[in-house]
A and B are shown apart, each in its own frame.
Chain A
Amino acid sequence: MGRLLKLREAHKTDAPATCSVLWAHDGSHLATSCASDTEVLIHDLSAPPPGRSGSNAGSSPVVLRHHKEGVTAIALGPMAGPLASGSFDHSVKLYNFPVGSFQGNVTRFTLPIKSLAFNKSGSLLAAAGDDDGIKLISTIDLTISRVLKGHRGSVTGLSFDPKHDYLASIDSFGTVIYWELSTGKQLHTLKSIAPNYNSDSSVLNTLSWRPDGEMLAVPGLRNDVVMYDRDTGEKLFNLRGDHEKSVCSFCWSPNGKYLATSGLDKQVLIWDVDLKQDIERQKFEERICGLSWKPVGNSLAVIDVVGRFGIWDNPVPVSMKSPTEGVVLNEPHPLFEDEDEEVLGKGISCYSGSLDDSIEKGSGDFSPISRKRVKKRGPSFDEGEEVLQEIDSRKRRKESENKRGDGGIRERAVRMQDAFQVGFTPPQQGKRRFLCYNLLGCVTSLENDGFSHVEVDFHDTGRGPRVPSMTDYFGFTMAALNEKGCVLANPCKGEKNMSTLMYRPFGSWANNSEWSMRFELEEVKVVALGKNWVAAVTSHNFLRIFTESGLQMHILSVNGPVVAAAGSGDLLAVVNHASDCLSSGDQVLEIKVFNINEATQTISGRLPLTPCSHLTWLGFSEDGRLGSFDSKGNLRVYSDQFGGSWLPVFSADKARKSEDENYWIVGFNATKLFCIVCKSPESYPSVMPKPVLTILEFSSPLASSDLGADEVENEFMMTNLQLSEIRKKIKDMEAFGLDVTALDDEAFSLEVKLDRCILKLIASCCHSDRLVRATELARLLSTQKSLKGAITIVTASKLPILQEKFSTILEERMLDDLKTPEPIPTGRSNGKTAYSVQPPVRLSPMMEKSPDLNNRTPNTIKPQIKSSPATETLKLVKARSSTPENLAQGEDISKERELGSKLEKLATFVKGKGNATSEVTGKDVSSSATGNVKPELKIPINPFARVKKVT
């Protein structure tokens, strides 16, 4: 719209001052105010004199002269709610709207008021200014329900969350605070995210929730508007474009699809928020400081700093969706009552917009009508059929709104995420950026006069080769790096610049061993690098694999558009879209892991993500485990447990120390995550200064249990996981006949660590009286020493029952040890010497499941443990007391009975070993158990038990 909008003078000002404009909820009236004028004006637009072209030509406005000094802020309640005004005279007043009669003073401040806001239901009014604290005033009885203190400067903007959970406020320093309305606490404090106007009182910072409450718009520091997440306060995206100076005011369209912004550069821009694109603009003579969308229609009211206002019709081009489409109008009155006058009068342009859209197909026969109406304007047209049509169309509109209800969500939801290169940062004007950053080094690029300089740096300057920087005429945007070389690729830009893949080895015996490939009509999407191979996935869904010297080895097809790829050693992981996003906004991703050298596929399946998040990182740890990281900050690691599954091992929400930290992951190892911590507005690191890695411990997303020992429980989980990984590795290496002594040592030290952890858990179980769980934990202990430790713990906490139980377990364990020497020779005869090195370890139930471990000691472990006199003890114990634990053990016993003759044989074997067995039979049970075993066993037998049994 090229023509200049005509503005009409409303307030007289000598100097530029902040002015505000508001629409009545039905679009019939406009309220304006000005900081250098004591009057508030209510312009009635419903009775425009005929012949005037703009709808901004109303009769003489209602003037409210109640303030003694300039009016700085006005706010309007929902429906025909009250109008509130705040002024330099420190008072807040309420008026009936649109009549304009004075209702009363709401509150007084000690300093000027700068901002006002009603919540969506109109029950609360927030007022703030230069005073220390935001006052929340209940509009029903005009009492102050809460004072929120926390801003250091004067509060210039307030906005209630439409869902009524939060209040957002901004001060003149540019600090935004999210307040929780139910508690009055500060949820997030985002410091200095908006321009600092502390020295310039003519500009007031504002902020505004999107009508659906999902995001908060705040003016940014780079002549943009930045959107922040509703709950986390994280930066979502920004609208940056043609504003040459800071944005000073903005307003969401009623449906939240468009945003009107005005800048200090005297421009007003209309944005399509979903496309993040400005769609319309208008330049004004003076800076526009107030904007307001018409609640019903495609018009925008603007007011400039000299107190002139105007109405911009059709700021959103008619070809696009109406700014009010999709709004659920909460109208208090039924359609047929008093709406004819109000709504029919003004709704013209809005209906034309929404009509065109709401009637899906045959909009042809409706458009003339709307055009006719545009020509007619105003309520002068005769009633009758027009009204009927109007009502009819409204009904249809409502229907289509309902239909669109779910569609709207889908539209808002995440799109299928684009392909990304692991470890890259988005380009920034004039700044160096990472093409690839991993634990080894980084590839950086700086664009300069049309071509870029690409540098390769290794973190370990002692070992990595020095790579000369190169000038890049292709415009590389993707890179992958390992010890031997780096691969670079660029997307195609237009027809001239084809997509190119280039590989640079860092050391080679031959000169000129750098190579490049060009792709016609095909675009490289992601690249990956491994041991002696280079992989690239292209827009044709081809996975191309080259050797290190540039030989084209394999071309495979990928199932869908690629998302990311990562390589390490022989393994290549490729993630692609399996289908379109779910309606809930979840990405549907699929992962495949290939072993390039063996030409096999090792993993294939869906890649799990946190709901509504997208993949941000994919990679292998140094020991070859695959991990994925999503935008909600969760790290998942692939494990062979349960037939191959992804275990969540880290959550940024839990680990985060302060709200404004973002974790940009670089890599992980068995127990830790390596990441770069970025302060909140930034979500990725910059090249200078050199980022420093932070190490974070893994933590499982455990439920909060009744033990109150979350850390120990977490350690227990993690150590168990680690142990199972190591056991798997031992098994793999044994299969190849390799030496596993070092790994065995590692496994042993892990077992010790696990035991320590279990002991702590037993202690906390004893504290909180979880005896069954304590017994179960005791069974998981792997060494006798720690079992004895456990007995000491329960003795100290005076739990004789547990003591008894643990002693029984220990007895079983010792008997088991007595027998273990037996199977070892058979193990040796198999030629697997490694077993002899291994300590006699009782396996936790989880371990026992793995088939190899059962094979290892084919007929020893489980059945024979209890085939000893200890079982008899158990039976007797069971007979005496019938607690549930004992019953549970009784099941085991019945199983053992089935083992029949085998057990008898073993019993004789044990008897043969024990020297005092023959005398034992008639004796007390507990002593019979001890009599069979070595004398040292007498030590742990607890005194309580004995006393109990004697009595």
Chain B
Amino acid sequence: MAGQTDHSLSIFSAAEVEFIAEDEMIEIVPNIRMDALNLLCGDFGPFLPQIPCTVPLWLAVALKKRGKCSIRTPDWMSVEKLTQVLEAERESPREFQPLPFHYVEISRLLLDHAHDDIPEVYMVRSLIEDIRNVRFHKVESGLETISGRTHAVKLKNLSAMEVNVVRPFMARVLQAFYKHDSPEMVQQADTSASKRPQVVDRGPRVSLSCVTC
């Protein structure tokens, strides 16, 4: 758990990432009648009982806490979809499955605040945990493949929380490699005395746990 343990290295704390994720939109079913809310981030509503409408997650959670609505679980959070994703994650060790960018945070918020609206909540919870573990494991095992000649790493479908955890570490590693590599490269250039352009010498792009979709 290279970066995961040391949170001081991350640019954002987990709470901050969660805060960002709260701007994601989600569908709720209000059980109150309320006029439209005109907020800085947009107009939401009007709210009519039993008629679904789309609001930011923070508003959904706020309403939910007051018992004014039920949150509709997003499609990807159904047991069926999650099982598929988990299987696919396990089957393809070098790829990440497309999930919402903030899937960790959204699922966490929903499981914390709206667990009564999620069908088969225990199953969903354990599936998401599994998916998260599989993906983090993939990131970590991928990190091992970074060698001295790696200058860039391409990661597709990585989610916010995962990026947040590995980014500082990864950046530093690459930086360090670069720093230690450079004298060697200079030396090489001296010994060979060739006028090859430097680009060739720069290590190949290693695609770590890379995806080509």
Q: Footprint of B on A, CB under 8 Å? A: 458-463, 674, 689-693, 695
- Complex CA distance for A692 and B69, rounded to whole angstroms: 12
Report the minimum CB–CB distance from A464 to chain B (whole Å). Answer: 9
Chain A CB within 10 Å, residue with most, of B31, B52, B68, B72: B31
Residues of A within 8 A of B88 (CB): none
B37 CB-CB contact with A under 8 Å: no
* Interface pair B70/A460, CB less than 8 Å apart: no
User: B29: which of A462, A463, A674, A692 is its contact (CB, 8 Å)?
Assistant: A692
A458 cross-chain contacts in B, Cβ below 8 A: 49
**B50 at the A/B interface (Cβ < 8 Å)?**
yes
Residues on B with beta carbons closer than 8 Å to the beta carbon of A460: 31-33, 49
Asked if residues B68 and A459 are in contact (CB atoms below 8 Å), the reply is no
The answer for the CA separation of A328 and B68 in the assembled complex, in Å, is 64
Digitize B102-116: 1 where CB-to-A-CB distance is under 8 Å, 0 elsewhere. 000000000000000
A695 to B68, CA, bound (A): 20
- Is residue B123 contacting chain A, with contact meaning CB distance below 8 A? no
For this complex, 5 residue pairs linking A to B, each with C-beta atoms less than 8 Å apart, are: A674-B51, A690-B50, A693-B50, A693-B52, A695-B51
Of A462, A463, A674, A690, the residue contacting B70 (CB under 8 A) is A690
**Residues in B whose Cβ lies below 8 Å from that of A462:** 31-34, 68
A418 to B51, CA, bound (A): 31
Closest 3 CB pairs of A and B: A459-B49, A462-B32, A460-B49
In the assembly, what is the distance between CA of A796 and CA of B200, in Å? 58
How far apart are the CA atoms of A691 and B51 in the complex, in Å? 10
Q: Which of B49, B70, B119 neighbours the largest number of chain A CB atoms within 10 Å of its CB?
A: B49
A458 to B29, CA, bound (A): 14
The reply on B67 being an interface residue by CB < 8 A is yes
Complex CA gap A708/B27 in Å reads: 34
Given contacts A461-B32, A674-B51, A689-B119, 16 further A-B contacts (CB under 8 A): A458-B49, A459-B49, A460-B31, A460-B32, A461-B67, A461-B68, A462-B31, A462-B32, A462-B33, A462-B68, A463-B32, A463-B33, A691-B50, A692-B29, A692-B50, A695-B51
User: Does more than half of chain A's interface fall in helix, strand or loop, or is it mixed?
Assistant: loop
Question: Does A693 lie within 8 Å of B51, measured CB to CB?
Answer: yes
Q: Cβ of B52 and Cβ of A692 under 8 Å apart? A: yes
Complex Cα–Cα for A620 and B136 (A): 57
Give the docked Cα–Cα distance between A754 and B49 (Å): 30
Residues facing A in B1-45 (CB within 8 A) are 29, 31-34
Q: How many residues of B contact A (CB 8 A)?
A: 14
Contacts of A691 in B (CB 8 A): 50
Q: Which residues of B contact A463 (CB under 8 A)?
A: 32-33
- Give the distance to chain B from A513, nearest Cβ to Cβ, in Å: 27
A459 touches B52 (CB 8 A): no
A762 to chain B, nearest CB (A): 32
CB-based contact B67/A459 at 8 Å: no
- Which residues of B58-105 have CB atoms within 8 Å of chain A's CB atoms? 67-68, 70, 72
Contacts of A674 in B (CB 8 A): 51
Q: Which B residues touch A693, using CB under 8 A? A: 50-52
List of B residues within 8 angstroms of A689 by Cβ: 119
Point out the residues of chain B lying under 8 angstroms from A459, CB to CB.
Answer: 31, 49-50
Q: What residues of A have a CB within 8 angstroms of the CB of B51 in the complex? A: 674, 692-693, 695
Q: How far is the CB of B9 from chain A (nearest CB, A)?
A: 44
Q: Which residue of A lies closest to B27 (CB)?
A: A692
- In the complex formed, the residue of B with least CB distance to A461 is B31
Q: How far is the CB of A313 from chain B (nearest CB, A)?
A: 51
Which residue from chain A places its CB closest to the CB of B29 in the assembled complex? Answer: A692
Q: Which residue of B lies closest to A689 (CB)?
A: B119
Kindly report which residue of chain B lies nearest to residue A695, judged by CB atoms: B51
Q: With the chains together, A771 CA to B33 CA distance in Å?
A: 48
Question: Chain A residues near B119 (CB, 8 Å)?
Answer: 689
Q: How many Å from the CB of B42 to the closest CB on chain A? A: 20
Q: Report the minimum CB–CB distance from B199 to chain A (whole Å).
A: 52
Shortest A436–chain B CB gap in Å is: 15
In the bound complex, residues from chain A placing their C-beta under 8 Å from that of B31 are 459-462
Chain A residue at minimum C-beta to C-beta distance from B117: A689
Give the complex CA separation of A731 and B204 in angstroms. 80
Separation of A674 and B50 alpha carbons in the complex (Å): 10
For residue B68, which residues in chain A have a CB less than 8 angstroms away from its CB?
461-462
Q: How far, in whole Å, are A695 and B53 apart by their CA atoms in the complex?
A: 11
* Docked pose: A459 CA to B57 CA in angstroms: 22
CA gap between A842 and B51 in the complex, in Å: 38
Q: In the complex, what's the smallest C-beta–C-beta distance from B78 to chain A, in angstroms?
A: 13
Q: Give the complex CA separation of A460 and B49 in angstroms.
A: 5
- Closest A residue to B69 by beta carbon equals A461
- The complex places the Cα of A692 from the Cα of B29 at a distance, in Å, of 7
In whole angstroms, what is the CA distance A459 to B69 when docked? 10
Bound together, the chains give a CA A459 to CA B52 distance in angstroms of 12
User: Distance (Å) between the CB of A693 and the closest chain B CB?
Assistant: 5
How far, in whole Å, are A93 and B29 apart by their CA atoms in the complex?
Answer: 60
Min CB gap B74→A, angstroms: 15
CA distance A463 to B33 in the complex (A): 8
Considering the chains assembled together, what is the distance between the CA atoms of A461 and B52 in angstroms?
Answer: 15
B7 to chain A, nearest CB (A): 39
Question: How many angstroms between the C-alpha atoms of A463 and B119 in the bound complex?
Answer: 28
B residues 149-168 near A (Cβ < 8 Å) are: none
B56 CB to nearest A CB, Å: 20
| Closest B residue, CB atoms, query A463 | B33
> Which single residue of chain A is at the shortest CB-CB distance from B67?
A461
What separation, in Å, do the CA atoms of A691 and B67 have in the docked complex? Answer: 17
Q: Once bound together, how far apart are the Cα atoms of A459 and B34, in whole Å?
A: 13
User: Digit string of B175-209 for contact with A (CB within 8 Å is 1, else 0)?
Assistant: 00000000000000000000000000000000000
